Amino acid sequence: MNYTQSTSSKNITRYPHNRIHFLFTLLLCLITLSGFYIPQNASAFGGKKKTPEEQKIEDHKKAAKEYNKGLDKVDNARKHAEKSDSTFAFNYRATQNAKARKDYQRALEKFDKALELNPQMHEAYSERGFCFRKLGMLDESFVSYNLCLDLKPDYAPAIEYRGEAFLARNQLDSAKVALLHLERLTTENASDTTYTLYQATLKAAIQQYQLLFFEK
């Protein structure tokens, strides 16, 4: 059944289609010329402006989401790399798997976004360094590891990752210094098995390196 409006047609103002289009275009021009905008930290409909602390909290939440997305990409890259890279359990070298490399590059984009939102996120610098290392970009890798350790000197993942990066540069002595650092942290934090895990991982990587290059 068709809808019939009871109001008399003579009481209804009708605008030709081209006039409506003209008015809409004019409105858009006026908005543009007036410099109308919605601030990033304000509601679109007149909400109060966020305080710096509120904005910081919101940015940190967004940073955490980007960081987690990056970790997902790293996990995908590891799975691809396992199919074609070295059969050694602890491979400190760059991956040659095309799919893995693409995922590491995508992970980098997520970590970069996280750091834009929260420049103090040391975890993102560490993972960023890992991605660069697996892409064979050692200079960039060391920059990221160093930035991480500047923020948190005893962050075990970055110490271990940088130790493996030293091996990729054939700097065995520096890798051993990193291992000593992890051994000290393991002793000081005996109840935390995290340090033991990273210490064991770097130790295995050093042993692998020594076997490959007949070091003793």
pLDDT digits (tens, 9 = 90+) for 115-159: 999 999 999 999 999 999 999 999 999 999 999 999 999 999 999
Q: Please tell me the distance from the alpha carbon of residue 140 to that of residue 160, in angstroms, as a whole number.
A: 16
The single-letter code of the amino acid at 170 is N
Residue 96 banded pLDDT, cuts 50, 70, 90: confident
Residue 83 banded pLDDT, cuts 50, 70, 90: confident
Q: Please tell me the distance from the alpha carbon of residue 192 to that of residue 207, in angstroms, as a whole number.
A: 24
DSSP assignment, residue 64? H
Query: What is the average pLDDT across 104-121?
Result: 98
Q: Would you state the pLDDT for residue 10? A: 37
As a whole-number percent, the residues of the chain with pLDDT over 70 amount to 74
φ/ψ of residue 73, rounded to 5: -65, -40
Residue 167's Cα: distance from chain center in Å? Answer: 25
Domains of the chain: 52-212 (1.25.40.10)
Residue 24 banded pLDDT, cuts 50, 70, 90: low
Query: What is the average pLDDT across 39-50?
Result: 59
Query: What is the average pLDDT across 108-119?
Result: 98
Query: What is the average pLDDT across 188-214?
Result: 90
Cβ(105)–Cβ(135) below 8 Å: yes
Query: What is the average pLDDT across 72-89?
Result: 82
Q: Would you state the pLDDT for residue 26? A: 55
Instruction: Kindly tell me if the per-residue pLDDT of 91 is higher than 70.
Output: no
